[in-house]
Structure 1
């Protein structure tokens, strides 16, 4: 059984003390494909080192996270452009809009999101979207940019059934992680109305650990708890969920 974690911050400081052991636990659990999103330029060196250590398992993205869109965001976007010229990446992400922490940066977040969508189109890459308290704002830009050359993953999807269908209409897979296991997560109530062909698995480690680890540091091996939950929701085997979601990840990332 091959399991794909489509969104995991393996370079996070949260893993500095036991990164190799954490990776081995994931590999032992059957997680052999790790797609690693960017945050900003300060993490680039750590991401490249991780890829060098696990060349057959770790696949990198590049991009500027919306919560890190500050006054210097154009300089950060220049770094993204520079990295795209120098290195192989599998997506532009994670990018998007986050109005949970700071609503005052909405206009520059929108600009950074648009610019990075354009970069993805130029490089024929998928996008990986971060959306928090900003479905309307994200959908507005996706509506402007929609087309066959816009596709990717709506990371950590936490919206309604209607919003799920809207995201899918923009050629987005839904990234499903620990939230699906939460008692108040809500998405478990309608996920079985979404065809599995639109779903990919993720952890967002070290964040959003699934039940029974909620509130603790998340890690990629815990994706098996998400797999168990989706097997229950869809009433198909864990092996089938892993197979379909891995194939879906290949459709997005091309590998």
Structure 2
């Protein structure tokens, strides 16, 4: 399995990082993809990637909740890093109107800037969209026909929204919410395009049942897999094979 979205470079994991990685390996998780947040997270993310080569893979981007007055300075740093060395994707980027609506126009500007970077470097984008899924679909629609690709991470939308996203050549990241009793995903997941679903944890956040309220970690992607397989009425092994192939197609297309 591949955990396509985990912030395990954060301080939540300082005390037991080796155990966290080992538990992930024991659970069948072979790769952990690390989305950046902003300038404050780059060093710890890159150190983790260096410590666990081939397991941890870094992305580069600016999270929408970090889009503030200085966002152009932050984006310049993203741009500079992309010129320095390879990254797996542009992310975590996107839009968010849940916490703060002050910088909505700046969020949209940052979104477009990072989409252009993705096209320039031929990289997928990893989209965060909280309370903004329809608006974000429309932002992506501006790039139709230009080869933009990526994933709507933490997908919790409707069947119709999923259809629009997959028609735009994007994937759907399924995480802990898929396991929530009242999350509503039991009504959505059976109708998704199976060739477009990938698994994630968003560690340390959005911990799946039965560990809700505790710290999330990559090993728990196995719990997400259990529930998604149940909703699709396939074996977990088949689900693992499917979602790993999908994640490889998006993030590691040159690897056989």
Following TM superposition, the consecutive aligned residue runs of length 4 or more in structure 1 with deviations greater than 2 angstroms are none
How far does the alpha carbon of each residue in 1:174-202 deviate from its partner, in whole angstroms, 9 at most, with x for none?
00011000011112212111121110000
Aligned equivalent of 2:233, options 232, 235, 242 = 235
Task: Confirm or deny: 8 A CA contact 2:134 2:161 kept in the other structure.
Answer: no
Aligned-partner Cα distance in 1 for 2:18–2:216: 15
How far 1:134 moved relative to its partner? 0.6
Alignment RMSD (CA, Å)? 0.9
How far 1:167 moved relative to its partner? 1.1
Aligned equivalent of 2:186, options 185, 188, 194 = 188
SS of 1:158's equivalent? coil
Counterpart for residue 63 of structure 1: 61
Aligned equivalent of 2:207, options 206, 209, 212 = 209
Aligned-partner Cα distance in 2 for 1:60–1:41: 14
Counterpart for residue 28 of structure 2: 30
Question: Alignment length, in residue pairs?
Answer: 253
How far does the alpha carbon of each residue in 1:86-120 deviate from its partner, in whole angstroms, 9 at most, with x for none?
11101001111000001111000000000000000
When normalised by structure 2's length, the TM-score is: 0.97
Aligned-partner Cα distance in 2 for 1:27–1:148: 37
How far does the alpha carbon of each residue in 1:50-74 deviate from its partner, in whole angstroms, 9 at most, with x for none?
0111001111110000000011111
- The runs of 5 or more residues in structure 1 that have no matched partner are none
How far 1:148 moved relative to its partner? 4.6
Task: Confirm or deny: 8 A CA contact 2:89 2:118 kept in the other structure.
Answer: yes
Counterpart for residue 157 of structure 2: 159
How far does the alpha carbon of each residue in 1:210-255 deviate from its partner, in whole angstroms, 9 at most, with x for none?
0000111000001111111011111111111111101101111125
Aligned-partner Cα distance in 2 for 1:232–1:148: 36
